[in-house]
Amino acid sequence: MGQGPVIALSGGVGGAKLALGLSHLDLGDDLLVVANVGDDFEHLGLTICPDLDTVTYTLAGLSDQSKGWGRADEGWRFMAALEQLGGQSWFNLGDSDLALHTLRTGALSEGESLTAVTQAITRKLGIEARIVPMSDDPVRTMVQTTDGPLAFQHYFVRDRCEPVVTGFDFDGIAGAQPQVDFMVALSDPELQAIVITPSNPFVSIDPILELPGVRSAIDAAPAPVVAVSPIVAGLAIKGPAAKMMMELGMPSTALAVAEHYGDLLDGFVLDHGDQDQADAVAALGIRPLVTKTVMESLDDRVNLAREVLALAGELGT
Ligand code: FO1
């Protein structure tokens, strides 16, 4: 295994699983997980940051593994009371999860940055890796659909990803600054790897890549870029990535994900089930690695993380 910092770009569930694997490789605070904030929204007066929180709960060992979001052993008395009072109940906030949203919203309203409040929370939870939002400025993903534009959580949770997608806008992105530790790490001469985790390319990773200056900083970074396919045998492990690809007129394949990232990539990790696409990935000038990408156990997460860094090591030499 190489030395030096590792940057992992992450959305929610799939990204958090690989980030957990990476956090078991003795990187300590040399692991920098950059979380998408395009899913964030203001709800019931609270600032909710689902991807940041999914990564935080996962690395703290607190996540609900069956749902993929929120905390394990959660209580739902707040939601029951909210419903009784006629409040909006389409987005589920667990009793313990609510503590994080309340703390964060209070800190933000006092002028603290999202980075600072996230750092305070992750330290308190004993997380060694650094988890940062992609930006301290608000960026909000709007899903363009045949029914009109929808704010991301309205599309995802309220409307259960049913509307047909035609494109995406990231409101606020042109004026958003990429998070400072992220940019510093990208120019670190010791940087070992930039890992694009198996999160949704369109709504989890693209908002990070489209921040002003990020693509050029990644291109100029001294480390290889390795992505793990979120699509296995034509299906997304979780979430609407495959459905979105079909609606956008793309094949829902691992190869199409590699093509989507294109020149940015040096390496691409596909599942055994997609072995037949490895040559086509290589023909794009991207080194393919075929392995088990479906992360069922902690061992799967750690093994995949190790293989991703080994591939980066080969590509970096
Ligand atoms: N996802 C759902 O499908 N339904 C919910 O009610 C829901 C609540 C929720 C609360 C806090 C949180 O951090 C995440 C939550 N998510 C919920 C997940 C969220 O919508 C994520 O944006 C997606 O998982 C995409 O990453």
Q: Which of 47, 139, 157 to mutate to test the pocket of ligand 1 (most atoms within 8 A of CB)?
A: 157
Give 12 Cα–ligand 1 centroid separation in angstroms.
9
Tokens 């992609």, located at residue: 134
The three-state (H, E, C) secondary structure of 31-100, written as one string: EEEEECCCCCEEECCEEECHHHHHHHHHHCCCECCCCCCCECCCCCHHHHHHHHCCCCCCCCCCHHHHHH
Q: What are the φ/ψ torsions at residue 166 (nearest 5 degrees)?
A: -120, -15
Pocket lining for ligand 1, CB < 6 angstroms: 11-12, 39, 48, 50-51, 53, 69-70, 91-93, 97, 153, 156-157
Give the predicted TM-score (pTM) of the model. 0.97
How far is the C-alpha of 157 from the C-alpha of 295, rounded, in Å? 24
pLDDT score recorded for residue 187: 96
Ligand 1: residue whose CA is nearest its atom 16? 69
pLDDT of residue 2: 63
pLDDT score for 238: 82
Residue 153 is given by DSSP the state: H
Reading the block at residue 58, the tokens are 């996962």
Whether residue 270 contacts residue 229, with contact meaning beta carbons closer than 8 Å, is answered with yes
Residue 194: is its pLDDT beyond 90?
yes
Q: How confident is the model at residue 191 (pLDDT cuts 50, 70, 90)?
A: very high
Taking residues 172-190, report their average pLDDT: 98
pLDDT greater than 60 at residue 109: yes
Query: What's the token pair of residue 241?
Result: 């990535």
Mean pLDDT score of the chain: 96
Percent with pLDDT over 70 in the chain? 99
- Going from the Cα of 213 to the center of ligand 1, the distance in angstroms, rounded, reads 29
Distances (CA, A) of 227 to 15, 52, 101, 218, 242: 11, 19, 31, 13, 17
How far is it, in rounded angstroms, from Cα 131 to Cα 55? 8
Mean pLDDT of 82-101: 97
Whose C-alpha lies nearest to ligand 1, atom 21? 50
How does pLDDT run across 116-140, given as a tens digit for each residue? 999 999 999 999 999 999 999 999 9
Q: Mean per-residue pLDDT for 56-65?
A: 97
Q: Is the confidence at residue 27, as pLDDT, over 80?
A: yes
C-alpha 43 to ligand 1 mean position (Å)? 12
Q: How far is the CA of 50 from the centre of ligand 1 (A)?
A: 6
* CA–centroid distance, residue 90 to ligand 1 (Å): 10
Q: How far is the CA of 51 from the centre of ligand 1 (A)?
A: 8
Query: Measured between alpha carbons, how far is 71 from 306 in angstroms, rounded to an integer?
Result: 27
